[in-house]
Amino acid sequence: MFSAEDPSVPPSASSRILEHPYPPRDQRDVPCCVSIALCAAMEILDASVPPTTQLSPLFHYYVTRPDPYNLGLLDIRAAFSTAASLGVCAQTLHAPAMTARGARMAPTPEAFADAEQRKLVGYDPARRRIQYELLEDVRAWRTALFAGFPIIAGFWVTSAYDALSKKNPVHGSPPAEPSRARHCVLILGFDDLVAEGAFLAKDSGGPGFASGGSWWLPYQTADSSLVIEAWAIRRITY
C-alpha cells in the first residue's frame, strides 16, 4: 500500500496539478479507457525530463487483451503488468483510427521493438518495492499527487457521471442506483478550494466532454464506494 505518512509532503499543501503535455484523448466506442489513462500517466512522468514521447494507447490495448478480437474493458492490474513487461510504443509507430477495426489492428515488429524502450517499472530490487501502488484513502491520493505521482482510478459509472458538463464539471454524490458500467480516468491533481476539496480527473471522452475533457471528483466522493480502486504510478524506465 502507498504510505500516507510521507514526511516530505507538507500537510498544509492546498493544491497541486501535474502537467500533462497532450490534449485529452477520445476513446469513442472503443473501451480502452484504462490504456488511455495509463499512457497519460507515463507521459506525465516522462515530461519531467523533456523531450516527451506521446504513447500509443491502442498498442497497449491490443497487447493486453487476452483475445485481440474481443474489445472488452481491461483489468487495471493486467494493464500494469503488460506495460512493465512489453512496454508501450510511440504513437507515431502505431496510430490506427480509434475504431473497433483500428483496435484490432496488430502492431508492427518496429512498434514492439520501440515499446521495449518505454516501460512501466514493476518491482524495483534496489527499492524493494513495486513502483505502482494501491492507494488506501484520500490522504494517500493527495500525498502521491503532491510528490509528483499521477493516479489511475477505476470507478462505477452512474447518472452523476453522465450529468458532468462544461457548466457542471464537479461529480455529484453517488446516487442510490445500480451502476451500468465501469470507467477509468487519470487523476492528475487536487485543489482543496474546489467543491470543498476535489481531485482533477482527465477523462478519455475527448475535449468536448465535461470541462475541456476534465472534471472534478470531490474528496468525499473519492472516499466512497463509487471508486473501485486507485493506483499511484511512480516510475518508468526511460
> What are the beta bridge partners of residue 226?
none
What confidence category does residue 11 fall into, taking pLDDT thresholds of 50, 70 and 90? low
Interval 108-131: pLDDT, tens: 999 999 999 999 998 777 666 778
Q: Are 60 and 39 in contact (CB under 8 A)?
A: yes
Which helix or strand (DSSP H or E) is residue 12 part of? none
Domains of the chain: 28-120 (no CATH), 132-238 (3.90.70.10)
More confident residue, 68 or 180: 68
Give me the pLDDT at residue 9, please. Answer: 54
Q: Are 55 and 43 in contact (CB under 8 A)?
A: yes
User: Cell 503532491 appears where?
Assistant: 146
For residue 123, the one-letter residue type is Y
Least confidently predicted of 27-36, 76-85, 122-131, 172-181: 122-131
What confidence category does residue 179 fall into, taking pLDDT thresholds of 50, 70 and 90? confident
